[in-house]
Structure 1
Amino acid sequence: MKEQLDRRGFIKQTAIGSATVLAGIAFPSIVPASVFGKNAPSNRINIGQIGFGRIGMTHDLPEVIKHEYAHVMAVADLDKNRLAQGKAWLEKRYAEKTGKSNYIDVKTYDDYHDLLANKEIDAVIISTPDHWHAQPAMEAAFAGKHIYLQKPTSLTIREGRTMADAVKKTGVVFQLGSQQRSTSPWPQFKRACELVRNGRIGELKKVIIGLPGDPAGGRAEEMPVPGGFNYDMWLGSTPEVYYTKDRVHSPEEINGERPGWLRCEQFGAGMITGWGSHHIDIAHWGMGTELSGPLAVEGRASFPTEGLWDVHGDFQVRAWYPNDVIMEISGTNPNGVRFEGTEGWIFVSRGNVGMTASDPVAAGDADENDAFKASDKKILTSVIEPNEIHLYDSPEQHTNWLECIRDGKENISPVEVAHRSGSACLVAHTAMKLGKKLKWDAEKEQFDDDEANKTLSRPQRFPYGTEHVKA
């Protein structure tokens, strides 16, 4: 092996001898940056962006391209207008960053499978609608690409399990966009969970979560499919239905407004997974139940009876966890997570700091201390001693993902933790739909109820869906 061999060449040459083999496919092992030096030019991570919309443009891409060793070289979108916007956006940002107008010619793909086939690409960011999360993540893993996936992990629990198992077998670095775990911009979530895990409020008894619901509405009249938009592929594994703007897009293209698909059960479960993936994830972190789930759950919710949008509005959920801990989730609670113990309580939220323009946050003039408070202020200033529990420290979610790709380390939101947070949300959603108490076996991922078990999966429209992915 030549001394000048770069890290990419090293990976390619050693893949034959040191790969993990799955179903006849070889996946290269991660080579720590220490082999060639953390700042070596060959450590540059080539990234493809799958889906250029609200989250990709305002959150995922800005957080990634600020790193010198992250190189976003391609974008895929099945809407040709957005594809062109993504290319122009990236090229403009890189021109501003480097002072070179022709610094990069961003590759474009109207089918993300072609992006995944590009062997120059090391990693992908998947910023697509909820029903298009599990399948591209699974395919990216089989293609040997590291993955940053927007939450929630999946449309159904079985779909999530299929994806999680595939990712774990391939050994790629998977990071979920559960950014409340990272200390930028919200250090209070990690701090709250550490205090709870170290007994600062005594024995944990209850977790109270506040999540908003969604409104009814949406225009239902059939409209022509916009030119350049592959609507059949956009529907993916879900049933074929006619196009109307409020089912798919925002009132105005690529702005802070929540798009219509977020409010249609065909494509997701509403706020119980949209924001539940954040707050229930934090609850699990504080409870120490990241790799399991509830023992039982009951719920009720109001669902629209007219209009296009049909995800839940007002709702209440109660879940029972190990060690006699009860979790209560409702839109009537303050948005955030409240841990109650035998010796006090801690409340944590984002306060008035949102990630996107449509985030439901506190009023702009709210006291920043409202985002992190306790029954006694001394709880918040308590020192976590060296011999106590110290949770994973991540400065920022995308940064952590990139560093773990580069350095070969475990990341803060790996796929099993991500799947368990998402599945707890979907278990709650099933209880909301059926309006009755259900027992949940987290190990087998099954209910004690035949009707409830029917919600664990959905029919997948060929050729789309995780059922049709081949390794």
Structure 2
Amino acid sequence: MQLSRRTAIKGLAAVGAPMIVPASVFGANAPSNRVAIGAIGVGRISRGHDIKEVMKHGDAQIVAVCDVDTRRLAAGRDLVDAGYAEKSGKSYSGTRIHADYRELLAAKDIDAVLISTPDHQHAPLAIQAVRAGKDVYLQKPASLTIAEGRAMADAVAATGRKLQIGSQQRGQQPWPQFHRAAELVRNGRIGALKHVEIGLPGDPAGPEAPPMPIPANLDYDAWLGTTPEVYYTEIRVHPQNSLEDRPGWLRCEQFGAGMITGWGSHHVDIAHWGMDMERSGPVEIWGRAEFPKSGLWDVHGPFETHARYANGMTMTISGALPNGVKFVGDKGWIFVTRSGSVTASDPGGPQIMPLQASDPKILASVIGPDEVHLLKAPEQHRNWLDAIRTGAPLSAPAEIGHRACSTCLLHHIAMKTRRRLRWDPLAERFLGDDAANALLSRPQRARYAL
């Protein structure tokens, strides 16, 4: 029999009541020295990345989990409990559950939150979290719209909270080659930087999907959040019988822009790092894309977009390019990608070396003491915890994450308008184009509006 959400939540709460945590779980770290964390959204990314990385560290403790799907909520609690039981060698059931993120944010014993929800929830939840006095680890992309991203970055600045964007290509783990590439470019090893190429895949079209009954375990209205009411069907949301499979919302423009932000936020961030454009953006954008003509999934497919920056540097982003970032200067080039990546246009194609250059001597170059040294941060979650505990600088703070995401969204707007757009990166407005400026935000449902 299917339980109602209310009955399921009561049952979960009964077995998820807080308990005293044995010191052996966290080693030498006393409870008062640990960062108490709540995880909001405990599906695929949270389980495989955010919760997993935070639980490695003894100076942090995940004390609560939150999800609008009670099946995922129970599985998230069980994952955390099992992890701490394994660490201590003793039974553990101290992780409490919340079906409403507002209850979690109101909890006085929680210092910080992981936000690992679908893209459309990122900025709204981050804004409410920092206003509630919580530090935040926010999955990329930073926002669904440029207006939301600006509101998020401004809220972080106003509250002084530590917000880290999950731009893990910046960390020394797991991919130190991105730091190395950006540092070599910033120190002129390929001469004056002229152009950047970024390879990103597109997404396929999907089938038609008729309405389905909303599962009793899912608060679908809360899942939709600020976005319009639309009928429920499973491939619009997430699989009901899998925590590992890719969810359908990633391919619906109502909830995100597709790969241009989903993966583009990573690569554009690295491009900006090497370009010394982390807190700005382009001044002109144009391009084209193919969009599905039928089916539920409607994010972009094959595409090619371009941008020009005020200093004359240009950028091309396309699925026809190798997956990664190529910096082209007047004296050579550097290409960087993740270990084991494949070409964006052919996932079954050959492997790509993670760091390449037009001349091997470029990669062997030593950065001198008086040259530019970019922040050498540990893995993103470790860096975030260090920032909370010691004030260490964040490798991907809110403003930098917003600028990477907003640049991706500019490329997406160029895909949609199919015309050349002029952009003021200081005012964050298009010049002389009211129709394009209308795409900087989206209508929000009153119940969930910022």
Could you say whether these structures have the same fold, taking a TM-score greater than 0.5 normalized by the shorter chain as the test?
yes
> Which residue matches 1:17?
none
Deviation at 1:39, TM superposition (A): 5.6
Distance 1:409 1:361 in 2: 40
* 8 A Cα contact 2:322 2:345, kept in partner: no
Task: Determine which of 329, 339, 343 is the counterpart of 1:341.
Answer: 329
Total equivalences in the alignment: 421
Deviation at 1:41, TM superposition (A): 4.8
CA RMSD, Structure 1 to Structure 2 (Å): 1.7
Distance 2:38 2:438 in 1: 36
Deviation at 1:218, TM superposition (A): 3.4
> Which residue matches 1:76?
66
The secondary structure found in structure 2 opposite 1:308 is coil
> Which residue matches 2:198?
209
The secondary structure found in structure 2 opposite 1:57 is helix
Residues 56 and 116 of structure 1: CA distance in aligned 2, closer, same or farther (over 3 Å): same
* 8 A Cα contact 2:130 2:156, kept in partner: yes
The secondary structure found in structure 2 opposite 1:459 is coil
> Which residue matches 1:458?
442
* 8 A Cα contact 2:112 2:134, kept in partner: yes
Deviation at 1:395, TM superposition (A): 1.6
Q: Does 1:132 align with 2:121?
A: yes
Distance 2:232 2:268 in 1: 33
Task: Determine which of 92, 105, 111 is the counterpart of 2:94.
Answer: 105
1:271-350 aligned within 5 A: 271-350=259-338
> Which residue matches 1:120?
109
Distance 1:451 1:300 in 2: 17
Distance 1:48 1:244 in 2: 29
CA deviations on 1:349-391 (whole Å, 9 max, x unpaired) are 003169xxxx999769836xx1100000010010000110000
Deviation at 1:400, TM superposition (A): 0.2
Opposite residue 346 of structure 1, the aligned amino acid is I
CA deviations on 1:127-162 (whole Å, 9 max, x unpaired) are 000000011100110111000000011111111111
Q: Does 1:197 align with 2:186?
A: yes
Q: Does 1:247 align with 2:236?
A: yes
Distance 1:82 1:338 in 2: 39
Deviation at 1:459, TM superposition (A): 0.4
1:47-446 aligned within 5 A: 47-102=37-92, 104-250=93-239, 252-255=241-244, 257-352=245-340, 366=351, 370-446=353-429
Distance 2:264 2:345 in 1: 13
Opposite residue 202 of structure 1, the aligned amino acid is G
Opposite residue 173 of structure 1, the aligned amino acid is K
Distance 2:232 2:100 in 1: 20
Distance 2:417 2:132 in 1: 39
Distance 2:30 2:94 in 1: 23
> Which residue matches 2:5?
none
Distance 1:222 1:247 in 2: 10
* 8 A Cα contact 1:218 1:246, kept in partner: no
Task: Determine which of 24, 42, 45 is the counterpart of 2:35.
Answer: 45
* 8 A Cα contact 2:320 2:345, kept in partner: no
* 8 A Cα contact 1:352 1:362, kept in partner: no
Distance 1:363 1:185 in 2: 23
* 8 A Cα contact 1:350 1:361, kept in partner: no
* 8 A Cα contact 1:352 1:363, kept in partner: no
Residues 83 and 361 of structure 1: CA distance in aligned 2, closer, same or farther (over 3 Å): farther
The secondary structure found in structure 2 opposite 1:463 is helix
Residues 251 and 463 of structure 1: CA distance in aligned 2, closer, same or farther (over 3 Å): closer
- With normalisation by structure 1, the TM-score equals 0.87
CA deviations on 1:315-357 (whole Å, 9 max, x unpaired) are 0111001321110000000000000000000000003169xxx
Opposite residue 371 of structure 1, the aligned amino acid is P
Distance 2:317 2:309 in 1: 13
The secondary structure found in structure 2 opposite 1:424 is helix
Opposite residue 381 of structure 1, the aligned amino acid is A
Deviation at 1:68, TM superposition (A): 0.4
Structure 2 unaligned regions, length at least 5: 1-27
Deviation at 1:250, TM superposition (A): 3.5
Distance 1:300 1:384 in 2: 39
Distance 2:319 2:129 in 1: 36
Deviation at 1:249, TM superposition (A): 1.1
CA deviations on 1:246-299 (whole Å, 9 max, x unpaired) are 1111485211x3210000000010000001100000000000000000010001
Structure 1 unaligned regions, length at least 5: 1-37, 467-471
Deviation at 1:40, TM superposition (A): 5.8
* 8 A Cα contact 2:112 2:136, kept in partner: yes
Distance 1:131 1:200 in 2: 40
Distance 2:355 2:274 in 1: 14
Deviation at 1:410, TM superposition (A): 2.1
* 8 A Cα contact 1:205 1:324, kept in partner: yes
